[in-house]
Amino acid sequence: MLKSPSFAKTVVRAGLLALMLGTATVQAAEAQTAKSLYDRLGGDYPISVVVDTFIDLLLVNDVLNANPAIDAARKRVPAAALKFRVTELVCQQTGGPCKYTGRGMKESHAHLNISEKEWQAMLTDFRRVLNNYGVPAKEQRELVAIVESTKNDIVVRK
Ligand code: HEM
DSSP string, 96-118: -S----S--HHHHHGGG-EEHHH
Ligand 1 pocket check: which of 51, 154, 155, 157 to mutate, most ligand atoms within 8 Å of Cβ? 154
Which residues have any ligand 1 atom within 6 Å of their CB? Answer: 64, 70, 73-74, 77, 82, 85-86, 89, 102-103, 108-109, 112, 114, 118-119, 122, 147, 150, 154
Q: What is the pLDDT of residues 77-122, one digit of tens each?
A: 999 999 999 999 999 999 999 999 999 999 999 999 999 999 999 9
Residue 73, pLDDT > 90, answer yes
DSSP string covering 65-85, please? HTSHHHHHHHHHS-HHHHHHH
Collect all residues with Cβ–Cβ distance below 8 Å to 138 and sequence separation of at least 6. Answer: none
Average pLDDT, the chain: 89
Please report, for residues 3, 5, 127, the alpha-carbon distance to residue 121 in angstroms, rounded to integers and kept in the order given.
73, 73, 10
79: nearest Cα among 43, 53, 107: 53
Å from CA of 152 to ligand 1 middle? 13
- For ligand 1, atom 26, name the residue with the nearest CA: 147
- What atom of ligand 1 comes closest to residue 101's alpha carbon? 41
98: nearest Cα among 149, 53, 36: 36
Å from CA of 35 to ligand 1 middle? 28
Helix, strand, or coil (residue 93): helix
